Amino acid sequence: MTLTRGGRLEAMDAVMAALNQSVDVDRELWREDIAGSIAHARGLVAAGVLTGAEAAELEAGLRRVAGEIERGELAWDPALEDVHMNVEARLVELVGDAGRKLHTARSRNDQVATDLRLWCRARGRETLAAVRELAVVILDVAEREIDVLMPAYTHLQRGQPSRLSHHLLAWQEGLGRDHGRLCDALARLDECPLGSGAAAGTGFALDREATARALGFGRATRNSLDATASRDFLMELASALAILGVHLSRIGEELVLWSSSEWGFVALSDAFTTSSSMMPQKKNPDVAELVRGKAAVLVGCATTLLVLEKGLAFGYGRDLQEDKRPIFDAFHHALLSVRALSGAIATARFERARLEGALRGGHLVATDVADWLAARGMPFRSAHHVVGALVRRAEEQGVDVSELSAAARAEVHPELGAPEIAAVLDARAAVERRAVVGGPARARVVEALAEARERWGAPSP
């Protein structure tokens, strides 16, 4: 049975029918579609279109359809094109003519726009919870490893002494912005399109604000044309998820590097690694590599949605049938990535000896020596030049700058032979000197942890 051809059109070509159907994708929206239909039926009672008895019959029928779908009993029919017509056709089979009245004052245009917003709202909240969980895992590890030092890197080169917890908190800061972007996107989609009709509303006296409240929206959409034809809420969500994916990919990249034999900073648990089909000794950081790969998918989903709408005039176009797979995929891959990294980080072992051992190469206290000279009145640019010569001398001797003798330092510049410079050359002392807001000194990191826990609503375990 086909309900969407009407009385005007003749039979559809088979190829066109295959192109036209979307139920294999949009049946994901069945819960939202049924919820919207129940709310619409109640609205039709208030508008005087349905009796209370008819609405009750429709609601019972819709709930029966929901049960059949939940149990896998409903056979989805591509000839009925989409989730809306499949649900309606089964409803008509169950309740007869009352089911045919349900579509009064409604188009599939406002119906699917409502379904999508409901679905995105639920998945968005689920993703927010998952991002928070990952952030809290990172905070827990940072708190546990508070006294472990490591280099801070620029250009993947060792730069200055720092603290592992400070580095982990940098991961968490990006996730905080991701959380905020998703919250903002969810706030902007908090409008209900139902009652907007195909493009120009309906002549029936629907109370759209009441329907919006019944579905948990903050308000009804303000313009029926915009409500049915715009998908910027999908673009915004997909963009936020793509940025989240990039942050997850950067974390993944560091886990790949840190877990390599060359770095040895972290050991991932067996539960989040794989071996090689050929090399039995291998333990591969596949969780991190797969998350890096998912970031490409997320960027692609956002790009698809942006390109999809860019050529549309205002008013619904069938191109929008393709808006569902990218947003479904984006949420699926984002959630999978967040949860996988949560498990991987929670079960990882950070190697203190390797992390702190990396402080002994790379002349990491060179900046501290330049700062010390500057504090004694030497212009920083001059101090920078002097310390550069000091590093060169250390490299000539094959040692770290902190290992040069006082005599060797004094040969570069007399002030560098002073006994008090010994404290400047100590990496742990150098970290503690970095006590500015946002720095890696222990007290500052403890403050940052407390502030982050308050922000995420996650007290210390």
Angle (nearest 5°) at CA 8 between 108 and 6: 35
Rounded Cα distance, 391 and 375, in Å: 20
Catalytic residues, which ones? 155, 276
pLDDT score at 66:
98
Using alpha carbons, list the distances in angstroms from residue 352 to 161, 165, 443.
14, 12, 20
| Length, in residues, of the chain | 461
Q: Over the stretch 355-393, which tens digit does the pLDDT of each residue have?
A: 999 999 899 999 999 999 999 999 999 999 999 999 999
Count the helices and strands in the chain (H runs, E runs).
Answer: 20, 6
- Pick from 340, 336, 310: nearest CA to 323: 310
pLDDT score at 2:
42
- pTM score, two decimals? 0.93
Helix H or strand E encompassing 144: helix 108-144
What is the Cα Rg of the chain in Å? 30
Angle (nearest 5°) at CA 24 between 216 and 241: 55
Strand partners, 266: 350
Dihedral (C-alpha) 129, 133, 139, 141: value to the nearest 10 degrees? -170
Strand partners, 278: none
pLDDT score at 6:
60
**HSE on the CB side for 89, CA within 13 Å?**
17
pLDDT score at 280:
84
pLDDT score at 11:
75
219-220 and 266-267 as β-strands: parallel, antiparallel, unpaired? unpaired
pLDDT score at 275:
86
pLDDT score at 4:
54
191-192 and 219-220 as β-strands: parallel, antiparallel, unpaired? parallel
pLDDT score at 9:
63
Domains of the chain: 14-104 (1.10.275.10), 109-146+162-357 (1.20.200.10), 358-456 (1.10.40.30)
Residues of the chain with pLDDT under 50: 1-3
